[in-house]
Structure 1
Amino acid sequence: MQTAIQLWTLRELSEPLSAVLDRVAAAGYGGVEFAGVGDPGASRRALDDAGLDVAGAHVGIDALQSETSAVQRQLRTLDSPFVVVPYLDVDHFADADAVAATAAMLDTLDAKYERPLLYHNHDHEFGEIDDETAYDRLVDEASVGFELDAGWARAAGRDPVDLLDRLDGRVPVVHLKDVTEDGEPTTLGDGVLELEAVVDAAREAGTEWLVFEHDEPDDPEAAITNGIDGLRALLS
């Protein structure tokens, strides 16, 4: 598996993207995942200068639906292997009919894009619907791939290892973040996520990219180092 950092982790760094990417490359990551596309041409040049690859790009659902041609061009310029739906609100998972409509919407979007569409979870997708979760229904009813956020799944009370087994062959990207028992983001290795088991399960499920993310790091620079040190130890 290749290693990357989700750039949302570094959003508080007050420096140009090129400098951020240089930091990421110097730390030893193989790539980055974008939170929004921004200026894809400038980003592509900065990536090339830093020697980094792209794990994927998070693009909001409104842009994916209403700006398809523009997003297609941006993804080509970035050479992003995946386009990721980063969030859908709780209404999309409120009941069985809502999940069915969400699955159909995601599959329709997937057919419009040249690159595989993935859905990235938070915790609200794991509400119960008729003795199963909305997320499990989505997995059964949609044909798209998934970017499993192991931390959010654990925060919702689900075992990410079990989910990775369920998503075998459909989960090319995994977000590795640690959380406290209360579901709050924390430094990798300080929380309750069973990191080694998650990484082993991701490998078995055919995951290509292991992406470190910390939603609220106190020190983004330190988070860069913490993330790659943790990933290296887990992958060695």
Structure 2
Amino acid sequence: MRSAIQLYTLRELNDSLPDLLRRVGDTAFEGVEFAGLGDADIEEVQNALDDAGLDVAAAHVGIEDLEADLDGVAETYAALDCERIVVPYLDAAAFASEQAVADTARRLTELGARLDDRGVSLGYHNHDHEFADLGGGSAFETLAEETDFALELDVGWATAAGYDPVDLLGSLRGRVPLVHLKDVSGTTPVELGDGDLEIDACVRAAREAGTEWLVYEHDDPDDPAASLEHGAETLADLLD
């Protein structure tokens, strides 16, 4: 299992994307997960990845962007040796009922099939609203049952929703190549070790579930540069 950082964590820093990658490369992180490329030149980004010794774990791409220009998105990230694209968010309406989940499952499955044809794997990343109670279980569990694409479990948001991420990881063996390691206090993201997450247990469960990349994320760090260093050091110790 390898460590990466979701670059959304660092969005408030003033660095260009290539400079941001070089900054990450100065830490113990082995890879990155993109949260958009902005207006960065792809060749410069690839050169920065090479200079920093970083691999690309995945890229978060909004579903509207994927549906509007799937070929363009796939080609862009293929140029960066990125083989996984993750839909980072769908709003609560997509999980509000069994019919809504069925529609969401179909929409994502069709998108995943189109990406498969282009040699790219689809994933979906949860927040807390996917765990809405549908009477016979959560919307997230229903989505998992009705699909076979990868699920990038965010253990922090699962914890915030009142679910045990260790149990979830156990039920998702083989489905979670990427896991977001995030800590929360209640529903507020905090630095790893400052919140409610049972970090060691989550890491063990992720390893047992076959996770390839443990991805650090902090949605709203007070000091992104310090969060980068803390996250890198914490994951290095956890994976040692």
Q: Compute the TM-score of the two structures, normalised by the length of structure 2.
A: 0.95
- TM superposition shift of 1:111: 0.7
Post-superposition offset of 1:41: 3.1
| Maintained 8 Å contact 1:36/1:60 | no
Q: Is this contact kept in 1: 2:102–2:146, CA < 8 A?
A: yes
Candidates 142, 147, 152, aligned match of 2:152: 147
CA contact (8 A) 2:156 2:181 kept: yes
In 2, Cα distance between equivalents of 1:171 and 1:78: 22
2:236 corresponds to 1:232? yes
Counterpart CA distance in 2 for 1:183 and 1:213 is 15
Shift, 1:42, TM fit: 2.7
Shift of 1:18: 2.0
CA distance in 2, matches of 1:172, 1:37: 22
Identical positions, percent: 54
**1:187 paired to 2:194:** no
- Aligned pairs for 1:49-198 (under 5 A) are 49-113=51-115, 114-180=119-185, 182-198=186-202
**1:46, 1:68 → 2: CA distance?**
25
Query: Is the 8 Å Cα contact of residues 107 and 144 (structure 1) preserved in structure 2?
Result: yes
The alpha carbon displacement at 1:197 in A equals 0.3
Deviations 1:35-69 (A, max 9, x none): 02434333222111211100100000101111111
Specify every segment of 5 or more residues in structure 1 that has no aligned partner in the other structure, as ranges: none
Structure 2 unaligned regions, length at least 5: none
CA distance in structure 2 between the partners assigned to 1:156 and 1:37 by the alignment: 30
Question: What one-letter code is carried by the residue in structure 1 that aligns with 2:148?
Answer: S
Corresponding residue for residue 45 of structure 2? 43
Q: Check conservation: 1:56, 1:83, Cα contact below 8 A.
A: yes
Distance in 2 of aligned mates of 1:235 and 1:173: 15
Output the TM-score relative to the length of structure 1. 0.97
Moved over 4 A (4+): none
User: Per the alignment, in what secondary structure is the counterpart of residue 132 of structure 1?
Assistant: coil
Distance of 1:63 and 1:187 partners within structure 2: 31
Per-residue Cα deviation, 1:123-178 (whole angstroms, up to 9, x for no partner): 00001102200000000001211100010110000111011011100100000011
The count of corresponding residues between Structure 1 and Structure 2 is: 235
